[in-house]
Structure 1
């Protein structure tokens, strides 16, 4: 059995604003309802990871992004989540607006991040990837 047959393929987008604040969403649905995480979701049939990241960030935050390099992969239960470093697409608005399965979306600094209830393992994972808020 291959990895892809045992796990649900998902993606996440890691996006910083020019000040070094990290984009997070508060999940409106399970898994993680009411908790904060990087935006993302399932890869749909026929999509590659980059197309899924663009779609998921648009759906959850209203932002148009350009995915870049793979930062890392985590496994959470049945989900295999590939997280990509993203940038706001040139000429696009950079103000997040929650949508789809996010009930809030915002850029957060270190102080704000420290008090948010985040999904299990997020802080340790982002710290290991050097992707926590920079200010």
Structure 2
């Protein structure tokens, strides 16, 4: 069923940290298919947003996480060439620590990997993704 973008769609992204690494997935589906991103996805009806965060990380990577902590809220609004809205996601970003498991790409991921924080700038990540990863790392370091 196609998404209705007459209103924003709520989704989550989760910055999962382990030592000096962040968990990333290569997206399987649009938007941004083939690009590296945070694990995450759309909230299901009847599911809390924190349940969504933990479920999406597990489904896309096989990783279990500590209870997610709110990090930031980001809008991803893309316009079609004629100016109409192509899609609009309101992304609630969380921060969590690795609890268990090894990254294995799941349902919506082509790949899932731990990436060294000093390597994330080389992956062509969306500027907001880079910003929230750096914010999460700074908070985990008490800065």
Q: Smaller-chain TM-score range?
A: 0.7 to 0.9
Structure 1 outlier segments of 4+, above 6 Å: none
**2:52 alignment counterpart:** 52
SS at structure 2 position matched to 1:58: helix
- Say what the alpha-carbon RMSD is for the aligned residues: 2.1
Q: How many residues align?
A: 124
Q: Which has the larger radius of gyration?
A: 2
Provide, for residues 38-72 of structure 1, a one-character-per-residue CA deviation record: whole Å limited to 9, x for no partner: 10000001111111011100110011123332000
SS at structure 2 position matched to 1:72: strand
Does the alignment pair 1:82 with 2:92? yes
- Matches of residues 19-38 of structure 1 in structure 2 within 5 Å? 19-38=19-38
TM-score (norm 1): 0.81
**1:39 alignment counterpart:** 39
**1:100 alignment counterpart:** 107
How far 1:120 moved relative to its partner? 5.1
Which runs of 5 or more structure 2 residues have no equivalent in the other structure?
Answer: 1-5, 78-87
TM-score (norm 2): 0.77
State how far apart, in whole Å, the 2-side matches of 1:82 and 1:27 are. Answer: 18
**2:121 alignment counterpart:** 114
> CA, structure 1 residues 100+119, in 2 after alignment: closer, same or farther (shift >3 Å)?
farther
Which runs of 5 or more structure 1 residues have no equivalent in the other structure?
Answer: none
Q: Would you tell me which structure has more strand in proportion to its own residues? A: 2
